[in-house]
Amino acid sequence: IQAFDAMLRVNLNGPFYLSHYAIPHMPRGCSSIIHVSSTRALQSEADTVGYTASKAGLSMCLSSQAITYAGHARVNAILPGWINTSDEHEHEVAIREVDKQWHPVGRVGEPVDVAQLCLFLCDESKSGFITGQQFVVDGGTTVKMVYPS
């Protein structure tokens, strides 16, 4: 129960409070709030109920915020899948060929994949008509049909 509550506090309450208290200080009409969620908002596995519930809750939070903050800020979310955040040495050891092949694009994600989308979503001239959306950055794994082997 404590782990579940902790997940909600960090992954749902944290982004909610941060955006709630930041919005009055943001320029009206050209601001962008980007929640970083996870593909776990869309799919789950055993023993991840707190994490998946918190990320799914953040999805609905952003939907409501997109309407609530309309005219003040656009609100979107990025849902990364497997993003390699290890250093170079660990990277070579940790990511196997089978891990790359699991992704339809043939590789594991890199932080720059998420960063480029953040830059796009923050650019009013490029994404000014986008709000209330979730962007999956996972190399195609969430759309892949999986059968037991």
d(CA 29, CA 127) in angstroms, rounded, equals 13
Q: What residues contact 81, with CB distance under 8 A and at least 6 apart?
A: 38, 39, 103, 109, 136, 137, 138, 139, 141, 142
Residue recorded with tokens 């962008």: 32
The answer to whether 51 is a known catalytic residue is: yes
Structure tokens at 87: 């250093």
Catalytically annotated residue among 17, 21, 51, 147: 51
Say if strands 31-36 and 134-137 run parallel, antiparallel, or are unpaired: unpaired
Question: What residues are labeled active site?
Answer: 51
